[in-house]
Structure formats: C-alpha cells, structure tokens
Amino acid sequence: MSELDPGKQEIMDATFRALSKHGYGDLTIQRIADEFDKSKSLLYYHYDSKEELLADAVNYTTQQFIDELQLADASPTAQLRHLVDRLLPETIDSEQRKTQVALLELRSQVPHVEVYAEQYTEVDTLLKETLTDIIENGIAQDEFVDVDAAREAELLVSILSGMRTRRLTSADFSAEDARDALHAHLTARLFKQPSSGE
C-alpha cells in the first residue's frame, strides 16, 4: 500500500484502536475492520492477515516517528536533546501510552512472527544509525568529546529502549529520574561543555 494513500492513516488508527481494545491474543482482522469507518473490503483487499496489517502499522508508525526525531539545521547537541525528548518525554498522555503499549506487545511477538522481526530490526537499525550520525557530527563540530560513535550509539539505543519499556511496565519507574540519569550520562560522556537549559 502506498505511503501516500490518504486512507492509510485511518487504517492505522483503526488497527491501533482494535489492538488496544482487544489485546494481541484476541485481535482478528475482522475486529480491526470493525474499527474502520470506510469500506471493509478495502482493508481485506490490501491485507491477507492480521500479521501483515500489524507489521505495516509498526512500519508506518515508526517511520513517522523516525522522521520527527530528525531536526534539520540544528546543532548536534540540540539534535540529540530533541531525539531524547521525543523518545522519552517528561510525560505521555493516555493515547501515547496506548500506542507504546501496542508497539511493545507487537515487539514481544517478534520471536514468533517473522514479518515483525524485519520491522523491529529496521527500527533499531535506523535509530542506531541516526544516533551514530549525530554523534559523529558532534565530534566533527567539536561539540562532543572524541568517543567511539557506534559504541556510544549502541549504548544509547539500549538505554532508550530499556527506559521506554520500564515506563510502561514498572510501577515505580520515574521518568524524571530516568531523564536525569540519561542527561547526566550525556553530560559526563559526550558533551564538551554543559549546554544552556541544563
């Protein structure tokens, strides 16, 4: 299905609504169709299985997300702070939480469903590459100390992934403490000087 298809966003919204309502185990393509206002045959025409539809939903959501992570024409420091703020905002509303819960649920199915495995591998690779680029630029522009960019990106992907999962699954997780720990890490390991607003 084309990325530009105007009905796509509505299909994706219906998919996440159905997933939130029924949970992965009880989700069927019929239940997704029930959440979709337009022609249900359109949905059946494009997707053969719930797995295919859900993989596309992961791809669509994360592509949008990755696009929003990038800040053109900003300094590497500002880009990195922006990325952290997008992935680990101070607060999330109930809609954001629902989407993140759905994405975690689908990620946990990766070992069982190959088409999810491809999506999540792509997501992680894209995020790691984006971080590596920002760190390399930061070093080149003398904003960051001279670290191994790929190694630091590897660490940051895991920190962000771990904090996002814990936010959804640990009652005593504090987003404030997590963000403090992450910013302290960046200040100690990466930034040459404390930037304003810290």
List interacting residues with a copy of itself (CB under 8 A). Answer: 23-26, 97, 101, 104-105, 107-112, 117-118, 120-121, 124-125, 148, 150-152, 154-155, 157-163, 165-166, 168-173, 177-178, 180-182, 184-185, 188-189
Cβ closer to a copy of itself: 45 or 173?
173
Cβ closer to a copy of itself: 89 or 162?
162
Of residues 147, 122, 121, 124, the one with CA closest to residue 134:
147
Cβ closer to a copy of itself: 64 or 121?
121
Beta partners for residue 195, in sequence order: none
Tell the smallest beta-carbon distance from residue 43 to a copy of itself (Å): 21
d(CA 122, CA 120): 5
Tell the smallest beta-carbon distance from residue 4 to a copy of itself (Å): 28
